[in-house]
Amino acid sequence: MTRDYRVLIDCRDEKGLVYKISKAFYDFGLNVEKNREFVDAQNGKFFMRSEVSGKFDPKALEAELKLVLPEKANIRLFEPRPKRIVLMATKESHCLGDILIRHEARELEAQIVGVVSNYDSLRSLVEKFEIPYVHVSHEGLQRAEHEEKIMAELEKFGEIDYIVLAKYMRILTPEFVSRYDERIINIHHSFLPAFIGANPYKQAYDRGVKIIGATAHFVNNNLDEGPIIAQDVIPIDHTMDWRQMRNAGRDVEKIVLAKALKLALEDKIFVYANKTVIFD
């Protein structure tokens, strides 16, 4: 049976890697549908993403690749399947709604297994799409207590590939973040590293910038400093107060988040050195 596989490799760079990998593909009789590679010469790192098809034994191919690649090479070789994702939100619906519509239209390689929010206000929107909505209020709780409750809910969803913070407006603790390392995608409503932290539109207004933007990034333990996946901006002018900036910014937020999410779902992102290599 012909199978479609994705092959993701990252390892120490050395001479002949493309040759060795493409030889393995050739020897296994694979069709290479797509190939992207990148060498970070400065850090001596090699990255490659391939889409291959053919009748072959994936275990044997993986073993062969292990043999020819440098020690400690990361080799991921798998048949694409829809990722299982959880969305987290607070009160704003534009990013959440956009993902729900894309999901409904089968635009995403994903199954939304649930939505978690610290408010109940988005329940009606989410339940229209027959997706479980879990309200975990933070009121009266310590941050750690609140997150424990969330994590308990997340457990119930079973395996989770990505958590998408679709305007979830609370800071996550290191404990939470480390449990889902490189699997939490956030949308920040500024072109980072400008305007880290609270109310970036207010900050942008006060500074008098002429562009505003949005940044989708993996979450790490430094607020708004995780690896950036996608960014975009829109022009603004002096006539806009910060609320108008916020309204205008919604479109760029949702588009940038969706773009980053798709890259993740299609396994097009490598993370290293707090940066991303994107094979789009």
**For its own copies, which residue of 108, 230, 261, 264 counts as binding (CB under 8 A)?**
230
Residue 54, Ramachandran bin (φ over 0: left; ψ between -120 and 50: alpha; else beta)? left
Q: Give yes or no for residue 87 binding its own copies (CB under 8 A).
A: no
Q: Which residues, in sequence order, are CB contacts of 164 under 8 Å at separation 6+?
A: 85, 86, 87, 88, 99, 184, 185, 257, 261
Beta carbon of residue 67, minimum distance to its own copies (angstroms, whole number): 16
Give me the 165-204 binding string for its own copies, x by CB under 8 A, dash otherwise. Answer: --------------------------xxxxx---------
**For its own copies, which residue of 258, 261, 264, 265 counts as binding (CB under 8 A)?**
258
Q: Give yes or no for residue 72 binding its own copies (CB under 8 A).
A: no
**For its own copies, which residue of 3, 70, 82, 101 counts as binding (CB under 8 A)?**
101
The answer to whether residues 249 and 214 touch, using CB atoms and an 8 Å cutoff, is: yes
Q: Give yes or no for residue 278 binding its own copies (CB under 8 A).
A: yes
Q: Give yes or no for residue 2 binding its own copies (CB under 8 A).
A: no
**For its own copies, which residue of 98, 147, 266, 267 counts as binding (CB under 8 A)?**
98
DSSP string covering 265-279, please?
A: HTT-EEEETTEEEE-
Give residues 132-171 in contact with its own copies (rule: CB under 8 A): none
d(CA 234, CA 80): 34
224: annotated active-site residue: yes
d(CA 169, CA 171): 7
State the number of binding residues for its own copies (CB under 8 A). 63
d(CA 66, CA 63): 5
The answer to whether residues 180 and 204 touch, using CB atoms and an 8 Å cutoff, is: no
The answer to whether residues 171 and 147 touch, using CB atoms and an 8 Å cutoff, is: no
- Between 154 and 214, name the residue whose CB sits nearer to its own copies: 214
Classify each residue of 54-92 as buried b or exposed e, where b means 16 or more C-beta atoms within 10 Å of its C-beta: eebeeeebbebbeeebeeeeebebeeeeebbbbbbbbeb
Binding segment for its own copies among 25-33, 63-71, 72-80, 177-185 (CB under 8 A)? 25-33
Distances (CA, A) of 218 to 14, 168, 258, 269: 29, 14, 13, 11
How many Cβ atoms are within 10 Å of 242's Cβ, its own excluded?
17
Beta carbon of residue 167, minimum distance to its own copies (angstroms, whole number): 12
Q: Which of 13, 27, 57, 224 is catalytic?
A: 224
Q: Give yes or no for residue 26 binding its own copies (CB under 8 A).
A: yes
- In the complex, the residues that contact its own copies under the rule CB under 8 A are 15-16, 18-19, 22-23, 25-26, 31-33, 35, 37-38, 40-42, 93-94, 97-98, 100-102, 104-105, 107, 125, 128-129, 191-195, 207-211, 213, 227-233, 237-239, 241, 247, 250-251, 255, 258, 273-278
